């Protein structure tokens, strides 16, 4: 198809104007390709490469070239249109109407969207209380991502919310899925009958992801912030969330996630749960599930179990027994003498907590996430014996992004661990979803390769076990990430709990 050109000498436009012009011309009937560019040699050769035969057009870098590929009549029309647009674009600058200014406050935003029902707040902590209070006063629910909000402020905000029949998710609430929309650090999961309220961000992520993978879906997932069930706050948001899910016709099964609260608060929550009339799966991480099971309440030990029970109940099946055993993959390399210890490097706080919880019965475990009889770390930057570390701890995140975003701290530590002849298994979590690193596998792989080289050069085995918390809906892609990681020899489990058990069984085979 022939190409027709028009040269407009000394015509200057910015690139967006020219790209828009090209796009508009290309859409005209009978036009195959259209391009408006400054006449530099590289631009001309680009047009030729794109199959536009512009011949030996006489043009310099300061002239505008409009090239149209199409039949002659259409090209004529397009060139005419181009000139009209160029002359009106120039005039439009002056005649343009005023732009509406973006909202400068929650009140201004609400005036434009009277239907709004939720304010998401992630300002620096010292201003977050005021913004949250304004949102509540204006009748909005609040998701408070900010941290560094005092306990007193949190309690005040939550009381104000309770009086207005609103909820405050947070402070330090990293995850929620409301009406199918993932908020902050959350994963893309199917909608379904299971509602969740969680005081733990990664706990909520793991359960929603596993529910999705087990073929069910999430109605609503409400975060409360980790401090909600403290005596100071009294679980106000957990109670409100429970009430919301009880009243929500879409929610058939309710899941509650928290570390064990004070007895008084636990009693209150379990009382309301019993009265909800819906099956409620409760996981108080680290507490005995049998103590709370009964009636419509189903206790769970691990996040994975909680998801499995919830999905079974949603399908009308009997709740399954706790998942305990792990099957070791075939062909594991033989550990050298002296390779005895697990080294867990976690970006999710709850994953570290659950690992500490599951490992402490089998071995002495050092951790910065205290559970039961776990041992403290003398130096958080150095492992000793069996060690699991939450790299999201304030000690590590001061002045740098969270380890789910910035993998540098973890990749450095992986190499450091590989140099320790005592390490037997490296245990990791990889969290996908909104807010997380765009390509965790690409961040980890060079470090894993290097760690393997170091260990193998010194005659040791290198075993890495981990799990990916994410779905194929997440922009990083579960399948793509898993494949890339598996290719480096990483052993991938379906859940954090299974990864931890695998690691445990490798260093301390079941008797």
CA distance 275 to 373: 35
Nearest to 346 by CA among 488, 479, 499: 499
Q: What angle do CA 215, 217, 218 make, to 5 degrees?
A: 155
Q: Of the candidates 2, 61, 329, 489, which one interacts with another protein according to CB under 8 A?
A: 61
Does residue 165 belong to the site contacting another protein (CB under 8 A)?
A: yes
Nearest to 428 by CA among 334, 493, 479: 493
Q: Of the candidates 6, 71, 77, 250, which one interacts with another protein according to CB under 8 A?
A: 250
Does residue 97 belong to the site contacting another protein (CB under 8 A)?
A: yes
Query: Cβ contacts of residue 110 below 8 Å, gap of 6+?
Result: 116, 138, 140
- The tokens describing 504, both together, are 């445990």
* Closest CB 19 distance from another protein, rounded Å: 6
* Closest CB 171 distance from another protein, rounded Å: 12
Nearer of residues 46 and 332 to another protein, judged by Cβ = 46
Q: Of the candidates 73, 130, 152, 231, which one interacts with another protein according to CB under 8 A?
A: 130
Footprint on residues 177-236 left by another protein (CB under 8 A): 178-184, 188, 220
Nearer of residues 280 and 292 to another protein, judged by Cβ = 280
Footprint on residues 300-339 left by another protein (CB under 8 A): none
The residue range among 11-19, 199-207, 319-327, 454-462 that interacts with another protein, by the rule CB under 8 A, is: 11-19
* Closest CB 351 distance from another protein, rounded Å: 22
Contact letters for another protein, residues 12-41 (x by CB under 8 A):
xxxxxxxx--x------------xxxx-xx
Helix (H) or strand (E) holding 142: strand 141-144
Nearer of residues 43 and 488 to another protein, judged by Cβ = 43
- The tokens describing 86, both together, are 């160029």
* Closest CB 417 distance from another protein, rounded Å: 16
The β-bridge partners of 298 are 281
Judge contact between 281 and 255, C-beta under 8 A: yes
The residue range among 93-101, 202-210, 336-344, 371-379 that interacts with another protein, by the rule CB under 8 A, is: 93-101
Q: Quick one: 249 exposed, middle or buried, by C-beta within 10 A (0-12, 13-18, 19+)?
A: exposed
Collapsing DSSP states into helix, strand and coil, what is residue 85? helix
* Closest CB 225 distance from another protein, rounded Å: 16
Q: Of the candidates 23, 27, 29, 62, which one interacts with another protein according to CB under 8 A?
A: 62
- The tokens describing 501, both together, are 């058990």
Taking CA atoms, 436 is separated from 184, 185, 413, in Å, by 9, 7, 19
How many residues of this chain interact with another protein, rule: CB under 8 A?
Answer: 102
Footprint on residues 277-306 left by another protein (CB under 8 A): none
Footprint on residues 98-127 left by another protein (CB under 8 A): 98-113, 115-124, 126-127
* Closest CB 423 distance from another protein, rounded Å: 20
Footprint on residues 402-421 left by another protein (CB under 8 A): 405-406, 408, 411
In the sheet with 31-38, reading across from the earlier edge strand, the strands are 3-8, 64-70, 31-38
Query: Cβ contacts of residue 316 below 8 Å, gap of 6+?
Result: none
Nearer of residues 238 and 283 to another protein, judged by Cβ = 238
Does residue 9 belong to the site contacting another protein (CB under 8 A)?
A: no
Taking CA atoms, 134 is separated from 11, 162, 193, 376, 456, in Å, by 51, 15, 33, 41, 59
Nearer of residues 58 and 95 to another protein, judged by Cβ = 95
Rg of the chain over all Cα atoms, to the nearest angstrom: 29
The residue range among 23-31, 246-254, 284-292, 356-364 that interacts with another protein, by the rule CB under 8 A, is: 246-254
CA distance 335 to 339: 6
* Closest CB 475 distance from another protein, rounded Å: 8
Q: Quick one: 505 exposed, middle or buried, by C-beta within 10 A (0-12, 13-18, 19+)?
A: middle
- The tokens describing 39, both together, are 């006449």
Does residue 256 belong to the site contacting another protein (CB under 8 A)?
A: no
Query: Cβ contacts of residue 223 below 8 Å, gap of 6+?
Result: 143, 169, 170, 173, 174, 175, 176, 197, 198, 199, 201, 204
Nearer of residues 192 and 299 to another protein, judged by Cβ = 192
* Closest CB 260 distance from another protein, rounded Å: 27
Does residue 479 belong to the site contacting another protein (CB under 8 A)?
A: no
* Closest CB 152 distance from another protein, rounded Å: 12
């Amino acid at each position: 198809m022939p190409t027709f050109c028009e040269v407009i000498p000394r015509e200057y436009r910015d690139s967006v104007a020219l790209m828009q012009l090209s796009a508009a011309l290309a859409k005209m009937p009978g036009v195959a390709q259209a391009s408006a560019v400054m006449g530099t040699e590289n631009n001309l050769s680009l047009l030729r490469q794109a199959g536009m035969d512009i011949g030996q057009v006489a043009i310099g870098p300061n002239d505008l070239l409009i090239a149209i590929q199409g039949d002659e009549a259409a090209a004529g029309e397009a060139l005419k249109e181009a000139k009209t647009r160029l002359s009106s674009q120039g005039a439009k600058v002056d005649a343009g109407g005023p732009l509406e200014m973006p909202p400068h406050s929650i009140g201004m935003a609400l005036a434009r969207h009277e239907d709004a029902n939720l304010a998401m707040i992630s300002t620096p902590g010292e201003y977050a209380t005021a913004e949250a209070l304004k949102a509540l006063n204006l009748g909005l629910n609040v998701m408070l991502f900010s941290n560094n909000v005092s306990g007193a402020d949190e309690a005040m905000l939550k009381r104000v919310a309770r009086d207005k029949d609103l909820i405050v998710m947070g402070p330090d609430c990293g995850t929620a899925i409301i009406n199918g929309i993932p908020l902050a650090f959350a994963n893309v999961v199917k909608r379904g009958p299971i509602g969740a309220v969680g005081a733990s961000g990664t706990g909520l992520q793991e359960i929603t992801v596993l529910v999705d993978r087990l073929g069910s879906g999430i109605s609503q997932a409400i975060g409360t912030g980790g401090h909600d069930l403290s005596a100071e706050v009294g679980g106000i948001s957990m109670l409100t969330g429970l009430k919301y899910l009880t009243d929500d016709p879409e929610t058939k099964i309710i899941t509650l996630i928290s570390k064990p609260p004070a007895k008084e608060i636990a009693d209150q929550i379990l009382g309301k749960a019993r009265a909800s009339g819906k099956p409620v799966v409760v996981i108080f991480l680290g507490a005995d599930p049998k103590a709370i099971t009964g009636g419509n309440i189903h206790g769970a030990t691990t996040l994975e179990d909680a998801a499995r029970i919830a999905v079974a109940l949603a399908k009308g099946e009997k709740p399954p027994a706790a998942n305990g055993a792990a099957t070791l993959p075939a062909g594991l390399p033989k550990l050298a003498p002296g390779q005895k210890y697990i080294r867990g490097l976690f970006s999710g706080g709850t994953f570290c907590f659950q690992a500490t919880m599951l490992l402490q019965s089998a071995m002495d475990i050092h951790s910065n996430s205290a559970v039961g009889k776990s041992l403290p770390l003398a130096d958080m930057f150095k492992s000793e014996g069996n060690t699991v570390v939450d790299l999201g701890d304030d000690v590590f995140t001061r002045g740098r992004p969270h380890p789910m975003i910035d993998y540098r701290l973890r990749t450095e530590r992986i190499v450091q661990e590989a140099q320790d002849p005592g390490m037997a298994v490296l245990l990791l979590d990889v969290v996908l979803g909104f807010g997380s690193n765009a390509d965790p596998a690409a961040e980890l792989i060079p470090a894993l390769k290097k760690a393997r080289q170091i260990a193998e050069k010194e005659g040791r085995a290198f075993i890495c076990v981990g799990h990916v918390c994410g779905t194929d809906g997440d922009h990083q892609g579960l399948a793509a990430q898993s494949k890339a990681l598996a290719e480096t020899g990483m052993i991938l489990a379906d859940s954090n709990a299974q990864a931890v058990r695998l690691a445990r069984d490798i260093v301390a085979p079941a008797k």
